[in-house]
Amino acid sequence: MWTAKIITLFPEVFPGVLGSSLIGKALDKSWQLETVDLRDFGCGVHKAVDDTPSGGGPGMVIKPDILAKALEVAQKNTDGEADTWPVAFLSPRGRLFDQTTAKKWSMGKGITLICGRYEGVDERFFEATGVEEISMGDFVLSGGEIAAQALIEATVRLIPNVLGNFESTENESFISGLLEHPHYTRPRVWNGLSVPEILLTGHHENISRWRKSKAEEITRIRRPDLWQRYCEQKTENEI
Ligand SMILES: C[S@@+](CC[C@H](N)C(=O)[O-])C[C@H]1O[C@@H](n2cnc3c(N)ncnc32)[C@H](O)[C@@H]1O
Protein backbone atom coordinates (compact mmCIF):
# COMPACT_ATOMS: atom_id res chain seq x y z
CA MET A 1 0.00 0.00 0.00
CA TRP A 2 1.26 3.54 -0.80
CA THR A 3 2.89 4.78 2.42
CA ALA A 4 3.76 8.17 3.89
CA LYS A 5 6.29 8.03 6.71
CA ILE A 6 6.72 11.19 8.71
CA ILE A 7 9.51 12.03 11.11
CA THR A 8 8.24 14.71 13.44
CA LEU A 9 8.43 16.09 16.96
CA PHE A 10 4.62 16.33 16.90
CA PRO A 11 3.23 12.94 15.82
CA GLU A 12 -0.08 13.77 17.53
CA VAL A 13 -0.96 16.30 14.80
CA PHE A 14 -1.26 13.46 12.24
CA PRO A 15 -3.35 12.46 10.38
CA GLY A 16 -4.92 15.88 11.03
CA VAL A 17 -6.71 17.07 7.93
CA LEU A 18 -5.62 13.91 6.13
CA GLY A 19 -8.11 11.95 8.24
CA SER A 20 -11.07 13.83 6.73
CA SER A 21 -13.13 13.62 3.56
CA LEU A 22 -12.32 11.19 0.73
CA ILE A 23 -8.60 11.05 1.53
CA GLY A 24 -9.44 10.16 5.13
CA LYS A 25 -11.83 7.44 3.94
CA ALA A 26 -9.08 5.98 1.77
CA LEU A 27 -6.61 6.00 4.69
CA ASP A 28 -5.63 2.41 5.52
CA LYS A 29 -7.41 1.22 2.36
CA SER A 30 -5.51 2.83 -0.53
CA TRP A 31 -2.73 4.50 1.43
CA GLN A 32 -1.25 4.45 4.92
CA LEU A 33 0.48 6.85 7.25
CA GLU A 34 3.23 6.11 9.78
CA THR A 35 4.78 8.62 12.14
CA VAL A 36 8.17 8.38 13.79
CA ASP A 37 8.60 10.49 16.90
CA LEU A 38 11.95 12.29 16.67
CA ARG A 39 11.84 12.79 20.44
CA ASP A 40 12.38 9.02 20.93
CA PHE A 41 15.89 9.49 19.52
CA GLY A 42 16.78 12.44 21.75
CA CYS A 43 19.43 12.28 24.44
CA GLY A 44 19.51 12.93 28.17
CA VAL A 45 16.62 13.14 30.61
CA HIS A 46 14.92 15.74 28.44
CA LYS A 47 15.41 13.72 25.24
CA ALA A 48 16.96 16.77 23.59
CA VAL A 49 17.14 16.65 19.79
CA ASP A 50 18.65 20.11 19.28
CA ASP A 51 21.57 22.26 20.35
CA THR A 52 22.76 25.85 20.06
CA PRO A 53 24.04 27.00 16.64
CA SER A 54 27.79 26.82 16.07
CA GLY A 55 29.04 30.38 15.67
CA GLY A 56 26.25 31.75 17.82
CA GLY A 57 22.95 33.32 16.89
CA PRO A 58 19.31 32.83 17.82
CA GLY A 59 17.34 29.61 17.97
CA MET A 60 18.32 25.98 18.10
CA VAL A 61 19.47 23.49 15.47
CA ILE A 62 18.39 19.83 15.14
CA LYS A 63 21.42 17.56 15.64
CA PRO A 64 22.54 15.53 12.59
CA ASP A 65 23.28 12.27 14.42
CA ILE A 66 19.85 12.18 16.03
CA LEU A 67 17.99 12.86 12.81
CA ALA A 68 20.11 10.38 10.86
CA LYS A 69 19.31 7.66 13.41
CA ALA A 70 15.57 8.45 13.23
CA LEU A 71 15.72 8.30 9.42
CA GLU A 72 17.53 4.97 9.48
CA VAL A 73 14.85 3.49 11.73
CA ALA A 74 12.00 5.09 9.73
CA GLN A 75 13.32 3.68 6.48
CA LYS A 76 13.39 0.08 7.70
CA ASN A 77 10.39 -1.62 6.19
CA THR A 78 8.64 -4.74 7.49
CA ASP A 79 11.15 -6.99 5.65
CA GLY A 80 13.97 -5.30 7.55
CA GLU A 81 15.18 -3.65 4.35
CA ALA A 82 15.47 0.07 3.62
CA ASP A 83 12.67 1.79 1.70
CA THR A 84 13.76 2.91 -1.75
CA TRP A 85 11.25 5.72 -2.21
CA PRO A 86 12.03 9.49 -2.04
CA VAL A 87 12.98 11.12 1.25
CA ALA A 88 12.39 14.86 1.62
CA PHE A 89 13.04 17.41 4.33
CA LEU A 90 10.41 20.19 4.39
CA SER A 91 12.25 23.48 4.17
CA PRO A 92 11.63 27.03 2.89
CA ARG A 93 14.96 26.91 1.07
CA GLY A 94 14.13 23.68 -0.78
CA ARG A 95 13.01 23.00 -4.34
CA LEU A 96 9.46 24.24 -4.81
CA PHE A 97 6.92 21.41 -4.61
CA ASP A 98 4.62 21.27 -7.64
CA GLN A 99 1.99 19.17 -9.37
CA THR A 100 4.61 17.35 -11.46
CA THR A 101 6.35 16.15 -8.28
CA ALA A 102 3.00 15.20 -6.70
CA LYS A 103 2.14 13.13 -9.79
CA LYS A 104 5.57 11.46 -9.86
CA TRP A 105 5.45 10.58 -6.16
CA SER A 106 1.85 9.34 -6.37
CA MET A 107 3.00 6.80 -8.95
CA GLY A 108 5.67 5.38 -6.61
CA LYS A 109 5.27 3.30 -3.47
CA GLY A 110 5.51 6.09 -0.93
CA ILE A 111 7.55 8.92 0.55
CA THR A 112 9.34 9.70 3.79
CA LEU A 113 9.02 13.27 4.99
CA ILE A 114 11.04 14.98 7.70
CA CYS A 115 9.41 17.90 9.48
CA GLY A 116 11.82 20.52 10.74
CA ARG A 117 11.41 22.81 13.77
CA TYR A 118 13.49 25.60 15.33
CA GLU A 119 16.10 27.11 12.97
CA GLY A 120 16.45 23.90 10.98
CA VAL A 121 18.90 21.01 10.78
CA ASP A 122 22.69 20.75 10.95
CA GLU A 123 23.88 20.98 7.31
CA ARG A 124 25.99 17.83 7.64
CA PHE A 125 22.81 15.76 7.79
CA PHE A 126 22.07 16.74 4.16
CA GLU A 127 25.67 16.22 3.06
CA ALA A 128 25.79 12.75 4.61
CA THR A 129 22.37 11.48 3.52
CA GLY A 130 21.67 13.35 0.27
CA VAL A 131 18.12 14.04 1.50
CA GLU A 132 16.40 16.59 -0.75
CA GLU A 133 14.90 19.78 0.70
CA ILE A 134 11.38 20.58 -0.52
CA SER A 135 9.56 23.88 -0.03
CA MET A 136 5.83 24.50 -0.02
CA GLY A 137 6.25 28.15 -0.96
CA ASP A 138 8.06 31.39 -0.30
CA PHE A 139 6.92 31.85 3.29
CA VAL A 140 8.09 30.57 6.67
CA LEU A 141 6.03 28.23 8.85
CA SER A 142 6.99 27.34 12.42
CA GLY A 143 7.35 23.67 11.56
CA GLY A 144 7.13 21.18 8.71
CA GLU A 145 3.94 19.44 9.86
CA ILE A 146 1.41 21.59 7.99
CA ALA A 147 3.68 21.56 4.95
CA ALA A 148 3.86 17.74 5.14
CA GLN A 149 0.07 17.43 5.32
CA ALA A 150 -0.35 19.69 2.29
CA LEU A 151 2.26 17.76 0.32
CA ILE A 152 0.73 14.40 1.23
CA GLU A 153 -2.79 15.58 0.36
CA ALA A 154 -1.66 16.84 -3.06
CA THR A 155 0.08 13.51 -3.72
CA VAL A 156 -2.40 11.02 -2.27
CA ARG A 157 -5.39 12.50 -4.12
CA LEU A 158 -3.65 11.49 -7.38
CA ILE A 159 -3.50 7.81 -6.40
CA PRO A 160 -6.21 6.01 -8.41
CA ASN A 161 -9.34 5.18 -6.36
CA VAL A 162 -8.57 7.69 -3.58
CA LEU A 163 -10.94 10.31 -4.98
CA GLY A 164 -14.32 8.93 -6.01
CA ASN A 165 -14.17 10.65 -9.38
CA PHE A 166 -10.56 10.23 -10.48
CA GLU A 167 -11.31 12.10 -13.68
CA SER A 168 -11.78 15.28 -11.66
CA THR A 169 -8.01 15.55 -11.17
CA GLU A 170 -7.39 15.27 -14.91
CA ASN A 171 -8.62 18.77 -15.80
CA GLU A 172 -7.28 20.64 -12.81
CA SER A 173 -4.90 23.57 -12.66
CA PHE A 174 -1.30 22.79 -13.66
CA ILE A 175 -2.10 19.46 -15.33
CA SER A 176 -2.05 20.96 -18.82
CA GLY A 177 0.36 23.72 -17.83
CA LEU A 178 -2.58 26.11 -17.39
CA LEU A 179 -4.64 27.34 -14.44
CA GLU A 180 -8.19 26.06 -14.45
CA HIS A 181 -11.09 27.73 -16.26
CA PRO A 182 -13.87 29.36 -14.15
CA HIS A 183 -16.77 27.26 -12.85
CA TYR A 184 -20.48 28.12 -12.61
CA THR A 185 -23.58 26.41 -11.24
CA ARG A 186 -27.22 27.27 -10.48
CA PRO A 187 -28.91 29.74 -10.10
CA ARG A 188 -28.67 30.91 -13.70
CA VAL A 189 -28.68 34.54 -12.56
CA TRP A 190 -27.28 35.52 -9.15
CA ASN A 191 -26.77 39.04 -7.87
CA GLY A 192 -27.37 40.34 -11.41
CA LEU A 193 -24.61 38.08 -12.76
CA SER A 194 -25.47 35.42 -15.36
CA VAL A 195 -23.90 32.08 -16.10
CA PRO A 196 -22.14 32.53 -19.49
CA GLU A 197 -24.62 31.68 -22.25
CA ILE A 198 -22.29 29.18 -23.94
CA LEU A 199 -22.36 26.89 -20.89
CA LEU A 200 -26.12 26.50 -21.28
CA THR A 201 -26.02 25.47 -24.95
CA GLY A 202 -25.12 21.82 -24.36
CA HIS A 203 -22.60 22.08 -27.25
CA HIS A 204 -19.66 20.17 -25.71
CA GLU A 205 -17.09 21.09 -28.34
CA ASN A 206 -17.80 24.83 -28.08
CA ILE A 207 -17.88 24.63 -24.28
CA SER A 208 -14.56 22.88 -24.20
CA ARG A 209 -13.05 25.50 -26.59
CA TRP A 210 -14.45 28.32 -24.40
CA ARG A 211 -13.04 26.74 -21.23
CA LYS A 212 -9.61 26.39 -22.80
CA SER A 213 -9.58 30.03 -23.92
CA LYS A 214 -10.61 31.12 -20.39
CA ALA A 215 -7.89 28.93 -18.85
CA GLU A 216 -5.35 30.56 -21.19
CA GLU A 217 -6.59 34.06 -20.38
CA ILE A 218 -6.45 33.46 -16.60
CA THR A 219 -2.98 31.92 -16.81
CA ARG A 220 -1.66 34.78 -18.99
CA ILE A 221 -2.97 37.41 -16.57
CA ARG A 222 -2.26 35.72 -13.22
CA ARG A 223 0.85 33.67 -13.85
CA PRO A 224 3.13 35.08 -16.58
CA ASP A 225 5.76 32.47 -15.59
CA LEU A 226 3.40 29.55 -16.32
CA TRP A 227 2.09 31.29 -19.44
CA GLN A 228 5.59 31.66 -20.87
CA ARG A 229 6.39 27.98 -20.24
CA TYR A 230 3.04 26.96 -21.79
CA CYS A 231 3.71 29.03 -24.93
CA GLU A 232 7.23 27.61 -25.26
CA GLN A 233 5.87 24.06 -24.89
CA LYS A 234 3.16 24.77 -27.47
CA THR A 235 5.72 26.11 -29.96
CA GLU A 236 7.97 23.08 -29.40
CA ASN A 237 5.02 20.72 -30.02
CA GLU A 238 4.12 22.56 -33.22
CA ILE A 239 7.67 22.32 -34.62
C1 LIG B 1 10.91 28.31 11.57
S2 LIG B 1 11.16 27.25 10.24
C3 LIG B 1 12.88 27.44 9.94
C4 LIG B 1 13.19 28.51 8.95
C5 LIG B 1 14.67 28.60 8.61
N6 LIG B 1 15.41 29.11 9.71
C7 LIG B 1 14.86 29.50 7.39
O8 LIG B 1 14.99 30.69 7.56
O9 LIG B 1 14.85 28.97 6.25
C10 LIG B 1 11.06 25.67 10.98
C11 LIG B 1 10.69 24.54 10.04
O12 LIG B 1 9.42 24.77 9.45
C13 LIG B 1 9.36 24.10 8.20
N14 LIG B 1 8.98 25.08 7.17
C15 LIG B 1 8.86 26.42 7.34
N16 LIG B 1 8.49 27.03 6.21
C17 LIG B 1 8.37 26.05 5.27
C18 LIG B 1 8.03 26.07 3.89
N19 LIG B 1 7.76 27.18 3.23
N20 LIG B 1 8.01 24.87 3.23
C21 LIG B 1 8.30 23.73 3.87
N22 LIG B 1 8.63 23.66 5.19
C23 LIG B 1 8.67 24.80 5.88
C24 LIG B 1 10.73 23.51 7.94
O25 LIG B 1 10.69 22.13 8.26
C26 LIG B 1 11.61 24.29 8.88
O27 LIG B 1 12.78 23.58 9.25
Rounded Cα gap, residues 30 and 192, in angstroms: 45
| Residue 120, pLDDT score | 93
In a domain, 28, yes or no: yes
Which ligand 1 atom is the nearest neighbour of the CA of 93?
9
Q: Mind listing the pLDDT tens digit for each residue in 179-214?
A: 999 999 999 999 999 999 999 999 999 999 999 999
Cα atoms in the Cβ-side hemisphere of radius 13 Å centred on 55? 2
pTM for the model? 0.94
Q: Mind listing the pLDDT tens digit for each residue in 96-147?
A: 999 999 999 999 999 999 999 999 999 999 999 999 999 999 999 999 999 9
Query: How many residues in the chain?
Result: 239
141, 145, 151: which to mutate for ligand 1, most atoms within 8 A of CB?
141
Listed residues 102, 123, 156: the one ending a domain: 156
By residue range, what is the domain housing residue 222?
171-238
Residue 86 and residue 13 share a domain: yes
Rounded Cα gap, residues 145 and 17, in angstroms: 11
Average pLDDT, the chain: 95
Which segments of 20-144 does DSSP mark as H helices, in order?
Answer: 21-26, 64-75, 99-106, 123-129
- Rounded distance from Cα 133 to ligand 1 centre (Å): 10
Decide whether any atom of ligand 1 lies within 6 Å of the 88 Cβ.
Answer: no
In a domain, 166, yes or no: no
